[in-house]
Amino acid sequence: MADLVADISATEEKFATEKDTLKGSAPVAPIPSQPPSNLSFPGSSSTLRQATSSNSIAATPPPPTSKPSKEELEEQIKADKIKLALEKLKEAKVKKLVVKVEIMDGSSKTLMVDERQTVRDVIDNLFEKTHCDCNVDWSVCETNPDLQTERGFEDHENLVEPLSTWTRDTENKVLFHEKKDKYEVFRNPQNFYMWKKDKKSLKDMKEKDKEQLLEENFCGASVIVPDLEGILYLKEDGKKSWKQRYFLLRASGLYYSPKGKTKASRDLVCLVQFDNVNVYYCKEYRIKYKAPTDHCFILKHSQIQKESQYIRYLCCDDEWTMTLWVTGIRIAKYGKQLYDNYKAAVRKAAGSATWASRSIQASSSASTPSPTPKGRDSIDQ
Report the pLDDT value the prediction gives residue 371, as an integer from 0 to 100: 47
Asked whether residue 292 carries a pLDDT value surpassing 50, the answer given is: yes
Report the pLDDT value the prediction gives residue 39, as an integer from 0 to 100: 40
Length of the chain: 381
Report the pLDDT value the prediction gives residue 351, as an integer from 0 to 100: 81
Cβ atoms of 215 and 203 closer than 8 Å = no
pLDDT per position as a tens digit, 4-33: 555 556 666 665 665 555 555 444 444 444
Average pLDDT for the chain: 81
Percent of the chain with pLDDT over 70: 73
Asked whether residue 291 carries a pLDDT value surpassing 70, the answer given is: yes
- Average pLDDT over every residue of 103-115: 91
pLDDT class for 195, splitting at 50, 70, 90? very high
pLDDT per position as a tens digit, 264-283: 777 899 999 999 999 999 99
Report the pLDDT value the prediction gives residue 89, as an integer from 0 to 100: 66
Lowest mean pLDDT across 95-99, 316-320, 367-371: 367-371
Q: Is the pTM of this model over 0.85?
A: no
Report the pLDDT value the prediction gives residue 364, as an integer from 0 to 100: 52
Report the pLDDT value the prediction gives residue 335, as an integer from 0 to 100: 94
Percent of the chain with pLDDT over 90: 56
Report the pLDDT value the prediction gives residue 247, as an integer from 0 to 100: 96
Question: According to DSSP H, which parts of the chain are helical?
Answer: 2-23, 45-57, 70-93, 119-130, 160-163, 184-187, 190-193, 199-203, 207-218, 285-289, 319-334, 336-367, 376-380
Report the pLDDT value the prediction gives residue 319, as an integer from 0 to 100: 96
DSSP letters for 152-221: EPPTTSBSHHHHTTS-TT---EEEEEE-TTSSHHHH-THHHHSTTS-HHHHHT--HHHHHHHHHHHHSSS
Positive or negative, the CA dihedral 197, 199, 204, 205 is: positive
Asked whether residue 74 carries a pLDDT value surpassing 70, the answer given is: yes
Could you tell me which residue, 55 or 134, shows the higher pLDDT?
134
Report the pLDDT value the prediction gives residue 61, as an integer from 0 to 100: 62
Report the pLDDT value the prediction gives residue 84, as an integer from 0 to 100: 78
Report the pLDDT value the prediction gives residue 77, as an integer from 0 to 100: 85
Lowest mean pLDDT across 61-70, 131-140, 227-236: 61-70
> If we measure between CA atoms, which residue out of 134, 131, 143 comes closest to residue 102?
143
Q: What angle do CA 293, 297, 298 make, to 5 degrees?
A: 130
